[in-house]
Structures are given as C-alpha cells and as structure tokens.
Amino acid sequence: MMRGRKERVGSGVVLALDVGGPYEERLKRAEGVLAATKEGIAGVKLNFHLLLPYGLTGLQAIRNTCEAEGIPLIADLKLNDIESTNLEAVETLSHFGVDGVIMNPFVGREEGLGSAIERVHQLQGGALLLVYMSHKGADEGYGLKTAGGEPLYRAFAKKAKQWGADGIVVSGRSPGKIAESREIVGDECLIFSPGIGAQGGELSKAAESGADFFIVGRAITESSDPRRSLHAFRQSQASFRGPKR
C-alpha cells in the first residue's frame, strides 16, 4: 500500500500530524494542514498529540480524508506491552481505519509482539518496528550493546526481518544507521526515517543511505504555507537519483 501510494503521487513524504498548542485548536489546525498537503504525501502518521485528546473517534474527519484520498494512516504508538494488550490495540486501530502501527521490539516476540504482527497482517495492515529514534539521547538506549557486543539497533533490525515486519523506523539524523539497517533487512523491509526537517535530518542524505519514506512533522505543520513546505521536501526527493524502491 505504501509503495503504491508513493508511486502514484511521486512522493515518499509521510506527514506527521503531531500538532501541539491549545487543545481546542489542534484538530482544526491538523485538518487544515492535511487538506493543504493531501495530494502530495505518501502517508499520515498520528501520534499522541492528537490521539490522546481526541481519540480515534474524534479524528473521524482525518480518517475520512485519508480513506477518500487513499492515504495510508499510521499510528505511532511505539507499541510495547504484553500480547493481550497489543492485540487489543491492533484490533481497535484496524477497526477505525488505521493501516499501520509502529511497535517497539524491546518487548520481545513471544507473548509480546509476535501475535500482534501476525494479526496486523491478517487485517491487511503493516507492522513497523522501531530501530533507532531521532532525539539526541537515542544512543543511550538503542546504542546499548547486547551480550554479544552488538548494538541494540542492529539487533532490532535483525528482529524486524526475522519477525516478518513490513518496515522499520530509523532516524533521518543518522544516515550511517540507515545504511547499516538497509544492509541487514535488504529489500524485505521498508525504511521510514523520522527527524527530517525540524530535528535536523536531511531528506537527501536519508534517501542516499537507503530510506524509502521520510517522516516530516513540524517543518510542515508549523509552516505558514504547508503546501509550499511540502513541495520543497518533494523537490529534494526528486533531485535524488538512486535505486528505485
């Protein structure tokens, strides 16, 4: 679904609708940004900024727009709980039209994420495993060494391939780790890179390192002209001439 959407619109930009500010204004602002950019994005990512105050039922207009435009909707829950809770989460998300969910592999497969990944696939959705985050302190956790001396992010990339995940999330601020992850997962997993724009990640460098999709939030959502800002990122992607994924 993500690949098809990317080819149709010629864009790998995933819009992170992580809109902050006064609660009474967030939803209207998010809907406005989506309306301005819907024709040029590969997907929409929802985080707790909207999910907590409004819930899935309160985001019906956004869900309707994504469904009407054929835009994949991803829930950024970093799902990391026991099996029964994870299964309830993916069932609920699917019921409300969410196509993919970001999960944290730290919880493990058995009685953790294994059944949730299988259920997501049964529901025709996608499972994305979090491999390396975009904030400055990410290495304090994802860079920890396993008993064999391997960094945790590499172990997580391997688990994504072994567990049959559809994609992985690797920071756009860390092109080297994107390249390492691509070597590990090959073409079996899509790579989604957050941290592009406001956090300092560069789309062109992420693309050159092997990323398929580029998660952009504040650089678009806080722009006075979201459509124009999106166009700039799309131009950056268009200038990259590398292997087609």
Query: Global pTM?
Result: 0.95
Residue 79 lies in a domain: yes
| Alpha-carbon gap, residue 127 to 134, rounded angstroms | 19
Closest-CA residue to 195 (of 49, 51, 23, 45):
45
Closest-CA residue to 196 (of 181, 209, 183):
209
At 31-87, the pLDDT tens digits run 999 999 999 999 999 999 999 999 999 999 999 999 999 999 999 999 999 999 999
What pLDDT score does 63 carry? 97
What pLDDT score does 237 carry? 86
CB 105 within 8 A of CB 78: no
Q: Which residues are the active-site residues?
A: 78
Which range of residues forms the domain containing residue 193?
2-238
Sign for the CA dihedral angle at 203, 206, 207, 213 comes to negative
Residue 37 lies in a domain: yes
Residue 112 lies in a domain: yes
Residue 28 lies in a domain: yes
| Alpha-carbon gap, residue 199 to 135, rounded angstroms | 8
Domain containing residue 12: CATH number: 3.20.20.70
Assess whether pLDDT exceeds 70 at residue 243: no
Residue 243 lies in a domain: no
Across residues 213-221, what is the average pLDDT? 96
What pLDDT score does 96 carry? 97
At 101-156, the pLDDT tens digits run 999 999 999 999 999 999 999 999 999 999 999 999 999 999 999 999 999 999 99
Residue 245 lies in a domain: no
At 165-194, the pLDDT tens digits run 999 999 999 999 999 999 999 998 999 999
Residue 213 lies in a domain: yes
Assess whether pLDDT exceeds 70 at residue 240: no
Closest-CA residue to 169 (of 50, 66, 47):
47
What pLDDT score does 236 carry? 85
Phi, psi dihedral angles at 131 (to 5 degrees): -105, -45
At 3-14, the pLDDT tens digits run 999 999 999 999
Residue 130 lies in a domain: yes
What pLDDT score does 154 carry? 97
